[in-house]
Amino acid sequence: MKYVDTLKNYKKLIFSIIACFFLWECASSPEVKVADGVVEESLKNITGITTQDVEKTVAKETFGLDDLYILAVERTERIALKNEATEQALAQKDKAFAGFMPTLSYVFNKFYSVPGHTQQPSIVDNYKTYKAIQSGDPLSLLPSSGSGSSLPPTVGAGSRLLLSIPLSAGLASYQDYRASKSLAEQRRLEAKHEAGRMYLEIAQAYFNFLQLEESVKISQEAYDLNQDSLQERKRMYAVGRIMRSDLLNSETSLSNAEAVLADAKFQLEQVRITLATMVGYEKPISVAGFKAELEPVPTGMEPEEYLAKRYDVLSAHQSVKVAEAQKDKAWVGFAPTIALNNYYSFPYPGTTHSKDITAQLQITMPLTPFSQMADLKAADSAKKQAKLTASQTRRVATQEIRNAFESFKNSQKILAIYQKAFVSAQETSQSQASGYRSGRNSRIEAIASRIAMLNAEITYRKMLHQHSLNRIALGVAIGEIPHLPGEKKEE
């Protein structure tokens, strides 16, 4: 009975240790929830957006570009998905670190006879039985209590604690730790790169919305002017001052203006819905105009010099480190595995209890390392692939930076030309309006010059927004926008 109580106490202790271990292992970072008004610490470390930023943004009636970015971080799953990939890599690092530690296990063995199976006695057993009957000593058939062979304590029936101390597995665990550490950094950099991509995509939709909003406003005015022009031409046609072809041309212009207006309105609503979906807003969104001043363009640096701030390039460099660690781990697979196992057996009914701890030195040497050779070959190929990917990422990033600079310079040049054309159209319209008031020009000429000015204004405003977008794209390409933690400017 005493042994049974002791066994129960030991089992309770073991189960308590195991339960605490699983609770500690299962503990994870707080779940990232979208659209709850809270920015978790992990997202804050990636994007620099705080809960206070979200509260200030939600209180607004119209949203600017940065406001839309804040909403997208808090209300969509895009960055949260990248964050979970980082958390998984960190968990792998913890698992690799645990590979250095001894493991404590509870082992229970109990043997059962196979039903219907009876071992046939050998000739020696039959002879022993015959001699015992002849001598009248049946007790000699019982097992002897003296010395003899027996099962080792590590495989006998009963309960025992197993403390396994890895002596050589630490080499593989160290390589796993290196790989997981680099992988976690790679995932973190990928999340920051994704934040920049998301900012750029929101900026594209934002400036597209502003272009369409102004196009609707100007197209409406142009449509009204075309209506006035048609009425004036009808009056002139009625008195015989113009031909019917002039009247038909005016009707065609009115129909075209109506089609342009309807198309602009439709596209505006489509972009409004798309923009709301991108930032996780449940209803049509109200957008504020772009009032921020464009920062001066950096000069005096080659495109390759900006790669140090490109998160995709830095992430690709970390992937090479991951592949190198995996290759080193493949080399470790050829080494023997050495472990020291320590057993402590609990009292078990019907067996002799020994309080000694049984130590077992286990050495496993692979004699046919074909699997290890295949792992090494695969790891070597993965390392080469990672290096090629890193080289390709650098080249693509360099070209993207170069294109961003060229696009900005080109839009700056074209914007100046369109601005000059718009100013000339304004002066022409004002001159025609003045001439109409003084009686030197007809009303048709004044309306036509006004419509031409509106067309020039639409073209100029579109290029103005495109130029602003090109500056945003340049900032994202060289890693200065958005301002992320570690690179965020102090207010």
- Cα–Cα distance between 362 and 261 in angstroms, integer? 82
Give the pLDDT confidence score for residue 9 in this predicted structure.
Answer: 52
What's the pLDDT band for 345 if we cut at 50, 70, 90?
A: confident
What values do phi and psi take at 384, rounded to 5?
Answer: -65, -40
Amino acid of residue 156:
G
- Residue that is written with structure tokens 């992320």 in the block: 484
Q: What is the rounded average pLDDT of the residues 38-46?
A: 91
Output the six-digit token pair for 430: 């004002």
Output the six-digit token pair for 173: 């665990």
pLDDT tens-digit profile of 135-173?
766 666 565 544 444 556 666 677 889 999 888 888 889
What's the pLDDT band for 1 if we cut at 50, 70, 90?
A: very low
pTM, entire model: 0.81
Q: What is the rounded average pLDDT of the residues 302-312?
A: 92
- Give the residue with greater pLDDT, 24 vs 357: 357
Total residues found in the chain within this entry: 491
Class of domain 2-109+152-477: mainly alpha
Give the pLDDT confidence score for residue 135 in this predicted structure.
Answer: 72
Asked whether the predicted pLDDT for residue 460 surpasses 50, the reply is: yes
Residue 225, H or E segment: helix 169-238
* In the chain, % of residues over pLDDT 90: 57
Q: What is the rounded average pLDDT of the residues 207-219?
A: 96
Average pLDDT of the chain?
86
Give the pLDDT confidence score for residue 23 in this predicted structure.
Answer: 45
**Range with the poorest average pLDDT among 3-17, 183-197, 323-337:** 3-17
Q: Using an 8 Å Cβ cutoff, are 39 and 69 in contact?
A: no
Asked whether the predicted pLDDT for residue 353 surpasses 80, the reply is: no
Boundaries of every domain in the chain: 2-109+152-477
Asked whether the predicted pLDDT for residue 224 surpasses 70, the reply is: yes
Q: Using an 8 Å Cβ cutoff, are 157 and 109 in contact?
A: yes
Q: What is the rounded average pLDDT of the residues 474-489?
A: 76
Q: Is 61 exposed, middle or buried (0-12, 13-18, 19+ CB in 10 A)?
A: exposed
Which regions of 197-263 does DSSP assign to beta strands (E)? none
Q: Which residues pair with 316 in a beta bridge?
A: none
Asked whether the predicted pLDDT for residue 487 surpasses 70, the reply is: no
Output the six-digit token pair for 462: 């579109």
Please state whether beta strands 103-109 and 357-364 pair in parallel, antiparallel, or not at all (unpaired): unpaired
DSSP state, residue 151: -
- Cα–Cα distance between 132 and 152 in angstroms, integer? 30
